Every structure is written in structure tokens, then in C-alpha cells.
């Protein structure tokens, strides 16, 4: 919750944790690019408000831990603890981010590299001055 003309939080983010501790059993959650997704449509009826907000934020589809934190307006560390609790409860699952290297255009990468090497060799650039 922020005050109307500022970005400063009126309530400290850790209050969203409602007594939850540090996640110890989910090493994937250390990476902010870890992908979170709901395991189904069901959300337990008795959830703390912050846990419910995270579960509902993932209803349209998966989000990375960092995206979920931005969406909720909470620090990544706070969302990490919330996600660990929902994973333990079977509401969410986490997986490592996948880099799709087959989608990279090698010709484009070669041209970028050539341009960077040209800049390194000619710091004044090819502007003709």
C-alpha cells in the first residue's frame, strides 16, 4: 500500500508474510527468473491475503518470480517466501527459466559482434571526423 502522491510504502512489505519464515526447501526460488505457475484453478479458501493475491496473479498464466513481485508491488524476497508457502501447499509449482537459444539469429549476432569490434578498434567511430 502506498500513499497517494508517493511511491513510499505505508505498510512494511514484511507484514505481508504474516509470520511465514524464510524458504529453505526451494533452491529454485533463489533465482528471480524462476517461473511460477498455478497447479490448477483451485485456490484454498483459507489463505492469507498476500498468498491469495499471488495465487490470483498467476491465474492468467505463468510469471517469473521478479514479474510476480512487480505485479504485486512487493519485494522479490517477500514474494519468494509467499511462493514457497504456496508450493508447499500444492497451489503453485516452480521451474527453472528456459533460455531458447534456438531462436537466436546467428547472422544478427555476428553483425553486432563485428560492430562492437569495429568500435573497439576505432573509438572515434566511422563518422568520418
Q: Which residues pair with 35 in a beta bridge?
A: 64, 95
Per the CB < 8 A criterion, the answer to whether 50 and 16 are in contact is yes
Q: What angle do CA 79, 82, 84 make, to 5 degrees?
A: 110
Helix (H) / strand (E) element for 95: namely strand 92-95
Grid cell for residue 67: 514479474
Q: What is the pLDDT of residues 106-124, one digit of tens each?
A: 888 899 999 999 988 876 6
Domain ranges, ordered by start, for the chain: 13-101
Q: What is the pLDDT of residues 39-79, one digit of tens each?
A: 988 888 888 888 999 999 999 999 999 999 999 999 898 89
The arithmetic mean of pLDDT across residues 89-101, rounded, is: 85
Model pTM score: 0.62
Which of 51, 30, 24, 42 lies closest to 94 in space, CA to CA? Answer: 30
Amino acid at each position: 500500500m502506498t500513499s497517494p502522491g508517493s511511491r513510499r510504502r505505508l505498510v512494511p512489505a514484511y507484514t505481508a508474510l504474516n509470520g511465514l519464515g524464510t524458504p529453505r526447501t526451494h533452491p529454485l526460488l533463489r533465482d528471480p527468473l524462476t517461473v511460477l505457475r498455478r497447479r490448477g484453478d483451485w485456490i484454498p479458501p483459507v489463505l492469507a491475503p498476500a498468498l491469495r493475491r499471488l495465487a490470483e496473479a498467476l491465474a492468467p498464466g505463468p510469471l517469473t518470480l521478479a514479474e510476480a513481485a512487480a505485479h504485486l508491488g512487493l519485494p522479490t524476497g517477500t514474494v519468494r517466501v509467499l511462493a514457497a508457502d504456496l508450493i508447499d501447499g500444492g497451489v503453485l509449482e516452480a521451474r527453472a527459466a528456459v533460455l531458447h537459444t534456438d531462436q537466436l539469429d546467428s547472422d544478427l549476432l555476428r553483425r553486432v559482434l563485428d560492430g562492437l569490434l569495429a568500435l573497439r578498434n576505432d573509438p572515434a567511430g566511422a563518422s568520418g571526423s
